[in-house]
Chain A
Amino acid sequence: MSNELLKINNLSAKVEDKEILKGINLEIKKGEIHVIMGPNGAGKSTLASILMSHPNYEITDGEIIYQGEIINNLSPDEKAKKGIFLSFQYPEEVPGLTVESFLRAAKSSVSNEQVRLMEFKKNLKEKMDLLKIGEDYAKRYLNVGFSGGEKKKNEILQMAMLEPTLSILDETDSGLDVDAVKIVSQGVKMLANNSNAFIIITHHKKILDYIKPDFVHVLIDGKIIKTSDASLADEIEIKGYEWLKI
C-alpha cells in the first residue's frame, strides 16, 4: 500500500445524463508515469475532470482511491490540498487576477501556511526562468490574452510551483511548438521523483521522446481497452485507433 498512489475501480460517470465513462480501471504507483491516449471524444478529459471533481460531472458507479482513501466526494480544493493537480486542456481566463497573486494564494493554500513574499517571488522567478516564461507574465492577468501555448506553459508553471503528488496533464503538449514541448517535458522531468506520479493525456508521440512513460493506456468510448508499454504509442502513431476497436 505504501507505494500505491491512485486506484480507480470500475469508474462510471455521466455529464448531463450522458454516460461518458463506462467502467474505468487504473492503478498508479508512486514514481510512475502513465500516458492515456485515445480518439477525440473518448472521455479522456472527462476522466481528468472527474478526478478533479468538476461540478458538472457525476460519478454513477465505482470509486477513486487516493493514498488509501476514497475521494469520490471531495471538492476540488480539498483534492488540490491532497496533492492532486490538473493541467487543463483549456485553461480559464480570469481578468483582474495576476498570475503572481493567484499563485501565492494557491501555494499558501495547498501548503497550509502563508508563504513569505520574498521567498515566493524568488521561487517563482526560478521556475519561470526554467520554463522560459518572461518575467512580466507574473504581473499579467491569469491567462488573459495568453496565446494557446502560453496558457499551457502557465499550467506547467503552476504545477512546478505547487509541487503536486499526482499531476494530470490534459493535452498540455497540444498547441505547443517544438521548443515548448521540450521545455514542458523538462518541467515534468524536473518534478518527477519516486514519491509522485503523472497521468499524461496526449495525442502526440513527440512528448514521449523526452518523457519515458511506464505505461500507455488507450481509452476508447469510456473504457480503457488496452494497456502496454511505450511502444504502444508508436504503434498508434502508425496505425491509428481503428485496429483497437472491436
Chain B
Amino acid sequence: MEKRNKTYVEDVNRGVYDIKNEVRYSYKSDKGLTPEIIKAISKEKNEPKWMTDFRLKSLEVYHKLDLPPWGPDLSELNMEDIVTYIRPDTKMNTSWDEVPEDIKKTFDSLGIPEAERAALAGVGAQYDSEVVYHSIREELTAQGVIYTDIETAIKEYEDIVKEYFMTCVPPKDHKFAALHGAVWSGGSFVYVPEGVNVDIPLQSYFRLNAPGAGQFEHTLIIVEKGASLHFIEGCSAPIHSVINIHAGCVELFVKEDASLRYSTIENWSRNMYNLNTKRAIVEKNGTIEWVSGSFGSKVSMLYPMSILRGERAKAEFTGITFAGKGQHLDTGTKVIHAAPHTSSNINTKSISKDGGIAIYRGAVKISKNANHSKSTVTCESLMLDSKSKSDTIPVIDIMNDKVDLGHEAKIGRISEEAIFYLMSRGISEEEAKAMIVRGFVEPITKELPLEYAVEMNNLINLELEGTIG
C-alpha cells in the first residue's frame, strides 16, 4: 500500500455526493510537478507544440510565484503529493450507454442525464481529468454553436482557442493560475456566434473521484456580439482522507450587447482545497451574471472577477457560502469598472457553523475614465454559534469621483430569541435554525431558477443536519 499523509477530515453525511468508485485509469501521471510530468501529460493529450510550451512556461512561473500572503492557511497543501493527471479508462462518449457503468451511475445519481433530458440543451461530464461524455442539441449546432471539451476544441478550433486561452487569466496572475496553466485538463469550450440566443442552458459537471488527485479543468466561453447564453457548472467529489485539489480556470468573453449567465454550485468533500479562478471580460452593453454557491471543501478561495471593459457593461453577482466544521471558505467577487456608465450589483450571504470560517473578500475598482459608473455591494453573514467566524473584507478603490457607490455589510449571530420563539411553537431546535437560515438566504434563492433554489436549499439542509466523525 502506498503511504500517504493522513489528513484530518470532518465531514457530514453527503449522501449521493459521497458515492466512491474504484479508481481505474488508462493513464496516471506521477505525483508532483516536474517538466517531465508536464511533457508526459501534453504528449498523452497529443497536443500541438505551442500548448506544450505554454504548459512548460506556466510551470516555470509556478515555481517562481509565492503563495498568497493573505487568506486561508495553505501550508498543508503539498503539490509533491498530488497526482495532477488521471485519465479514466474511457474515451469521450456521445451516448451515456458507452460510458462505463460505475461512472454513468455516479452521474445518474447526481441527476445529470435526467436534467439533460428535462432542461438542458447540452451536457459535458468530466470524470477526474477527462471529459467522458458530451452532447449538444442539433438545432444549436445548426446555428453554429460549439460546445465541446477543450481537447477537442484545440484540434478542431485551434485558432480560436489559441487566440483566447489564458489571456483573460494569465498564468502569472497568481500561483494557482500558473499551476493551472501547467497541468490543466478537461473542461469546456463554448462558442456562441453573433446574434444567437441559446435559450436553454448548457451544463458541465466536474466530478473528481480519485483520492490524492487534482482537477484542473479549463472553461472557455465566448459569447459573440448580441448573443446570449446560460451556462451551468456543477462540481463535486466524494470524501477521502487525503488532500485533493481543484484549481480550475474559467475564462468568459462577453462581447458587445451579449449576455452570459454563469451559474455554479460547488459541493466539495471536506478534503478538498478549492482554489479556482474565474474571470469575465465584458464589452460594451454586455452583461455577465454570476450565481455562485460554495459548499463543502476544506479551504476555498474563490473570487470571480468581472472586468467591465466596454461602456454600459454590467455585472451581477449573487453568492451563497456555507462553512461548517473544519472549513475555511474565503469567497467573494471582484469588479473592475474600466469604462463609463458601467454598473455592478453584488449580493452575497454567508453562513458559518460549528467553528467554520466564512469570509467575504471582495473588491470594486473604478478606474479614472469610468465616469458615471455605479456599484452596489450588499454582503450579509450569519453565524450559527459562537465558535464560528465570519468577516467581510471589502476593498473599494475609486479613481473617479463621478460615481454612485453603495456598500452595506452585516455580520450577525443567529438570534437565540428567534430560535426560542419558533421552538415555542413546537418546532425542534434544529428545524428552527434551519428555518432561520433558509429565511436568511431567501432573498437570494427566490431570485434563482426553481431547480437552483431547490438544490441550494437541499445543500443547506444537508449542511445543517450535523456532523459525523
Kindly name the residue among A52, A94, A102 whose own CB sees the greatest number of chain B CB atoms within 10 A: A94
Binary A-proximity of B408-450 (CB < 8 A = 1, otherwise 0): 0000000111101111111111011001101111110000000
Task: Evaluate contact between A80 and B420: CB separation under 8 angstroms.
Answer: no
Near B by CB (< 8 A), chain A positions 109-127 give 109-110
Q: Which residues of B contact A80 (CB under 8 A)?
A: 423-427
Given A106-B427, A110-B425, are A76 and B420 also a contact pair (CB < 8 Å)?
yes
A16 located at the interface, meaning its Cβ lies under 8 Å from any Cβ of chain B in the complex: no
A91 located at the interface, meaning its Cβ lies under 8 Å from any Cβ of chain B in the complex: yes
Shortest Cβ gap from B173 to chain A (Å): 37
A91–B424 CA distance with the chains assembled, in angstroms: 11
A35–B436 CA distance with the chains assembled, in angstroms: 34
Given A97-B439, A102-B435, A141-B439, are A54 and B420 also a contact pair (CB < 8 Å)?
yes
Across the two chains, which residue of chain A brings its CB closest to B424?
Answer: A76
In the complex, which of the residues B417, B421, B427, B439 contacts A109, with contact meaning CB atoms closer than 8 Å? B427
Q: How large is the interface on A (under 10, 10 to 19, 20 to 34, 35 or more residues)?
A: 20 to 34
Task: Evaluate contact between B421 and A55: CB separation under 8 angstroms.
Answer: no
Q: Which residues of B contact A102 (CB under 8 A)?
A: 422, 425, 435
Majority DSSP secondary structure for residues of A touching B: mixed
Given A88-B421, A92-B417, A96-B442, are A81 and B426 also a contact pair (CB < 8 Å)?
yes
Q: How large is the interface on B (under 10, 10 to 19, 20 to 34, 35 or more residues)?
A: 20 to 34
A88–B427 CA distance with the chains assembled, in angstroms: 16
A150 located at the interface, meaning its Cβ lies under 8 Å from any Cβ of chain B in the complex: no
A47–B443 CA distance with the chains assembled, in angstroms: 37
Shortest Cβ gap from B277 to chain A (Å): 32
Task: Evaluate contact between A97 and B423: CB separation under 8 angstroms.
Answer: no
Q: Which residues of B contact A86 (CB under 8 A)?
A: 424
Q: Which residues of A contact B424 (CB under 8 A)?
A: 52, 76-77, 79-80, 85-86, 88
Shortest Cβ gap from A115 to chain B (Å): 12
Task: Evaluate contact between A162 and B440: CB separation under 8 angstroms.
Answer: no
A85–B423 CA distance with the chains assembled, in angstroms: 11
A109–B425 CA distance with the chains assembled, in angstroms: 8
Task: Evaluate contact between A91 and B429: CB separation under 8 angstroms.
Answer: no
Q: Which residues of A contact B436 (CB under 8 A)?
A: 94, 97
Q: Which residues of B contact A54 (CB under 8 A)?
A: 420
A158–B442 CA distance with the chains assembled, in angstroms: 23
Across the two chains, which residue of chain A brings its CB closest to B431?
Answer: A105
Given A55-B416, A92-B421, are A97 and B428 also a contact pair (CB < 8 Å)?
no
Task: Evaluate contact between A109 and B428: CB separation under 8 angstroms.
Answer: yes
A sample of 19 more A-B contacts (CB under 8 A), given A52-B420, A105-B431, is A54-B420, A76-B424, A77-B429, A77-B432, A80-B426, A92-B415, A92-B417, A94-B421, A94-B422, A94-B436, A95-B440, A96-B439, A97-B435, A102-B422, A106-B422, A109-B425, A109-B427, A110-B426, A162-B426
Task: Identify the 7 closest CB pairs spanning chains A and B, nearest first.
Answer: A96-B439, A96-B442, A80-B426, A110-B426, A109-B426, A106-B425, A76-B423
